[in-house]
Amino acid sequence: QRAKTSATANAVTAGMGDDSTAALPAESGGGLAVEVSRTATATALAHEAFLRFSQNAMAGMGQALALQARLLEHGAGDSPTPAGRVAAEAASTSEPPAVRYDRDMCMEFAVGSAAKVLGPEFAALDSYPVRVRLPDEPLMLVDRILTVEGVKGSMTSGSVVTEHDVLPEAWYLDGNRAPVCIAVEAGQGDLFLCSYLGIDLAVKGRRSYRLLDATVTFHRHLPQPHETVRYDIRIDRFVRQDETYLFFFRFEGTIDGQPVLTMADGCAGFFTEKETAESGGIVETADETAPPPGTKPADWRELVPMHIESYDQGQLDALRDGDLAGCFGAAFSHLGLSDPLRIPGGRMRLVDRVVQLEPDGGRYGLGMIRAEADIRGDEWFLTCHFVDDMVMPGTLMYECCTHTLRIFLLRMGWVTERGCTSFGAATVRERDSVCYEPVVGVSSKLRCRGPVTPKTQVVTYEVHIKEIGYRPEPYAIADALMYADGHKIVKFTDMSIQMTGASREQIEATWSATREAHGFESVGLPVDGEPVSPEAKPAIFDNSRILAFAVGKPSQAFGEPYRVFDSERRIARLPGPPYKFLDRITEVHAQAWRLEPGGWIEAQYDVPPDAWYFRANRQPSMPFAVILEIALQPCGWLAAYLGSALRSDKDMSFRNLGGTAVLHEEIFADAGTLTTRVRINKVSEAGGMLIESFDMQIWRAGRIVYDGETSFGFFSQAALAQQIGIRDAADRRYMPSQAELRRGKPISLERVAPLQPGESFRAATVRERNASAPGPAAAMPTGALLMLDEIDVFVPDGGPKGLGFIRGVTNVDPDAWFFKAHFYQDPVVPGSLGLESFLQLLKLVALERWGEQLRDTHRFCPILVGPEHRWVYRGQVIPRNRRVEVEAVVTELREGPVPTVTGHGFLKVDGLAIYEMHHFGIALHPIDSPTDRD
């Protein structure tokens, strides 16, 4: 009882003060009052917890929802259902069951007179500005009402049995099935029943119907043409608290007496427009925002590499037409599918664009996708639902989220023909088609705390995958959130989907056949069957042309098309010295000025043995920030070569959005020539922005030392000025308690020379020379690379796992050396240096834990070599910013000969979280190890 009420209390949108059962009026039913009094002891703790929550909440919906939590605990009983009697009567005779109200009468109730349907005692309803209705066409899905039980106007329990015929020409069919939204929405008879029982006579047109909660479970495949779904719908009780009314309902849908779906724990309420507007939306608990990792098979194999991507309206229209390559790029261009799976169109065109797809993102680490749709106010689902109270159906909100999930699964490579008959070696079953259905037996929960109305401008669907695999059908389970103009209004938990009619073997065979038929791996970077040469190669574009692009005239780098950027306009540049780590372009396999996926280049960088960054790092190996820049800078060159800057008449800035990569080896001062290969694999234009994704590899001595994927965006200054940061960082960032902060301590940092990249020890002042005396083997960087001014708090046993929490701060210096280098005419702190500041936090954690014993015998590895690391950027640090905070929670500590510390964290600028770092780490490596190269 306490757990259920607490969960509901956290989700409520408002509170009305005292949730006393004494406030229930007599009309709420004496039986209910007896029930509540009998459970008073059991609910006392929950009641107290909710009161604490309600103290600062608004009046209205909240108290009613808290009451709901108590009532649901008692259940609704197991009395015989009217549908059971109807079925028994039909079975005992060849005659069809009698019809109480036919479709014409149901349509009259939807758009006409309530009195004509319910009788003259309901005539007042026809004068109200709003009343409960069934939807208008095309969403009026009650074809007939067979029975109604209950006393008219009594505000007590009752039931209704309705039917819906799935016709062969039905507009909503998807994969020859009635989709989930239709199968559930067709149980809309509760609308008719609650009015029949008197709710409109009670609220008198001053309050509108809003669905709040429901749990839906499917028990077989979705309805198909020529099937009739019968819905046995029961309202168990009405509850009134002051002026707020709730009712609790449930239904069972059957076909030929066999269960298809059940809806349990249904709750709807009646609220004023003001109460709805001030509801506060979905409030999530700490457990909901920081859940455990997701689940996928141990033998999971990636079908096609994925990247952080976005898709515009044109790309999604291509996907609706079955053009997978037109949406997802060249990797999908040779699959040989004549009629592939896709997302629906027509009235079910519910997604306008995908603004972000993160293959390893989301709350469960298995992927996140965020899509949007614009609301004009005249959409069919508003004008029909309802004619006097336009609001988007909750069932259609669910469908929007499933379409968004389907886009993710298609991009992941779960593609096949819509008509398919191969399903593994054990059993072969023929199907009409491959289709998407919910997973049988998985209960999906809805919490709705706000509407989408004609006043809404943009709706956002955000899906977090929590489980994925094969059963043998490919399936996924996800949680989804829906936003209206940025406000979190709906949450779906355990939304499930499976590809009925498909199998793992069939999907993997599609990709294998593609690779064999075309003689190449459809994704990734070409290596021509041989390792990349470790030697320096002749330049196609030499250092002088690269410098011209970085700090000179772009036309001298690329030619006449970029002459406009020599003086009249500003172009996105490469970094200049001392942060330029690109010497020449040695291969180009792309067409200039033609921005399309597939092209790749080869670049080289000659590592100077005495480079400033080795001295500044005070370690023998290359700093991670430099490694990352060596991989990223050729991406910027390729983007320019393809003519990206000419896609807009506005001056655009080039910003990294994030990536995922693996460091296979450290890079030392004797590295010689490093060869970087990058391929552009995705181009997306939407909302005045240009997003490009790349694969990247760094080679040394014939081996890959660093590889991964990344994405960049071209943004206008206006777009950058409106940065909103990591959208859900507030929900996921770890916030130390006051007790932790009291246990914490500051750590002082010493800034030693050299303080600038080009500064020598001779140029330093006497004080600086003294400060730069030889330090321990595990030393922090010098001032030229140290990105932190101070550590304001370190809690050794802090963080969610009790392994440590640390926060560093720095004041933004507009004269810092990196602003001059990165970029010319567009100064911004390199994101790679932001990641370096995070690694410096982890170095300090390692020194605090092991430094006393190991600082003279061990050195720092730049990152924990081997595991995949990931970074996300959603903002920038520019000279006019004031303060940067970097925080890390320690996620893993390992003792042993090579101690390691791994963490996750965020970087904030002036209070806004703009960077996120996943699975970065530091190792302390013995300096006398045979593998050490110092």
- The residue behind tokens 């014939």 is 702
Cis ω before 754 (30° cut-off from 0) = yes
Residue 76 is encoded by which pair of tokens? 């609704």
Query: Could you report the per-residue pLDDT of 279-312, keeping only the tens digit for each?
Result: 889 998 888 887 888 999 988 988 987 877 888 9
DSSP string, 330-355: GGGTT---SSB-----GGG----EEE
Question: What global pTM score does this model have?
Answer: 0.63
Alpha-carbon gap, residue 892 to 35, rounded angstroms: 50
User: Cα–Cα distance between 476 and 497 in angstroms, integer?
Assistant: 5
Q: Is the pLDDT of residue 23 over 70?
A: no
User: Is residue 654 classed exposed, middle or buried when 0-12, 13-18 and 19+ CB atoms within 10 A define those classes?
Assistant: buried
> Is 663 in contact with 639 (CB distance < 8 Å)?
no
As a whole number, mean pLDDT of residues 548-563 equals: 95
pLDDT band at 81 (very low <50, low <70, confident <90, very high): low
Name, in order, each residue with C-beta under 8 angstroms of 823's C-beta and a sequence gap of 6 or more: 572, 573, 574, 575, 576, 653, 654
pLDDT tens track for 52-66: 333 333 334 444 444
Q: Is the pLDDT of residue 857 over 80?
A: yes
Alpha-carbon Rg for the chain, nearest whole angstrom, is 31
pLDDT tens-place string over residues 210-242: 999 999 999 999 999 999 999 999 999 999 988
Report the first-to-last Cα separation within the chain, whole angstroms.
63
**148 — phi, psi (to 5°)?**
-135, 130
Reported as a single tens digit per residue, the pLDDT across 810-847 is 999 999 999 999 999 999 999 999 999 999 999 999 99
What residues have CB less than 8 Å from 607, skipping those under 6 apart? 622, 667, 669, 671, 672, 673, 674
Nearest-angstrom CA–CA distance, 370 and 367: 10
Lookup: tokens for 856: 């003279």
**pLDDT of res. 2:** 32
- pLDDT at residue 46 in the model: 34
Of 876, 862, 861, 871, the closest CA to residue 827 belongs to: 876
Cβ-based neighbour number of residue 744 at 10 Å = 20
Question: Do the Cβ atoms of 213 and 266 come closer than 8 Å?
Answer: yes
What share of residues in the chain are helix, strand, coil (percent, to 5)?
Answer: 30, 30, 45
Rounded to whole angstroms, the Cα distance separating 715 from 726 reads: 17
At 644, the pLDDT band (50, 70, 90 cuts) reads very high
702 pLDDT tier (thresholds 50, 70, 90): confident
Q: Tell me the average pLDDT of the chain.
A: 85
- Residue in 262, 230, 263, 197 with CA at minimum distance from that of residue 86: 230
Joined tokens for residue 539: 């330049």
**Structure confidence by residue, pLDDT tens digits, 315-338:** 999 999 999 999 998 788 888 899
For 473-504, what is each residue's pLDDT tens digit? 999 999 999 999 999 999 999 999 999 999 99
pLDDT tens sequence across 717-762: 988 988 889 988 888 899 999 999 999 999 999 999 999 997 654 4
CA 752, distance to chain mean position in Å, is 42
pLDDT band of 866, cuts 50, 70, 90: low
Residue 850, judged by CB atoms within 10 A of its CB (0-12, 13-18, 19+), counts as middle
Cα 734 from chain centre: 19
Provide the pairing of β-strand 858-861 with 912-926.
antiparallel
Nearest CA among 704, 633, 632 for reference residue 663:
704
Which residues are within 8 A (CB) of 588 and not within 5 positions of it... i.e. 6 or more apart?
A: 540, 541, 601, 602, 641
CB atoms within 10 A of CB 344: 19
Planar angle of CA 885, 888, 891, nearest 5 degrees: 170
Q: What is the pLDDT of residue 286?
A: 81
- Supply the pLDDT for residue 774: 60
Residue 343 pLDDT > 90, yes or no? yes
- What is the H or E stretch that residue 711 is in? strand 703-716
- What percent of the chain is modeled with pLDDT above 90? 71
Note if the bond before 386 is cis, omega within 30 degrees. yes
Of 89-98, 425-434, 525-534, 786-795, give the lowest mean pLDDT range. Answer: 425-434
929 confidence band (pLDDT: 50, 70, 90) = low
* CB-CB contact of 146 with 102 (8 Å): no
Read off the tokens for 418. 């819509």
**Average of pLDDT values for 256-266?**
97
Residue with tokens 């905070």: 885
- Give the count of beta carbons closer than 10 Å to the beta carbon of residue 206: 14
Mean local confidence (pLDDT), 13-38: 32
Q: Which pLDDT band holds residue 36 (cuts at 50, 70, 90)?
A: very low
Helix (H) or strand (E) holding 671: none
Token duo for residue 163 = 């039917």
Closest of 470, 471, 476, 175 to residue 342, by C-alpha = 175
DSSP symbols for 786-807: ---SEEEEEETT-STTSS-EEE
Query: Could you tell me which residues come within 8 angstroms of residue 435 by beta carbon, excluding any fewer than 6 positions away?
Result: 174, 175, 176, 177, 222, 418, 499, 500, 501
* Active-site pick, 47, 164, 307, 385: 385
Question: What is the C-alpha separation between 449 and 9, in angstroms, rounded?
Answer: 12
- CA–CA separation, 193 vs 231, rounded Å? 13
Residue 881's SS3 state is: coil
Q: Mention every residue, 6+ apart, whose C-beta is less than 8 A from residue 79.
A: none
Are 128 and 386 in contact by the 8 Å Cβ rule? The answer is no
| pLDDT for the residue numbered 334 | 83
Please check whether residue 849 is in contact with residue 860, taking contact to mean a CB–CB distance below 8 angstroms.
Answer: no
219: annotated active-site residue: no
pLDDT at 34 over 50: no
Report the C-alpha gap between 493 and 283 in whole angstroms: 14
Region for residue 287 given its phi and psi (left: phi exceeds 0; alpha: psi -120 to 50; beta: otherwise): alpha
For the residues 780-789, what does the mean pLDDT come to? 96
pLDDT at 604 over 70: yes
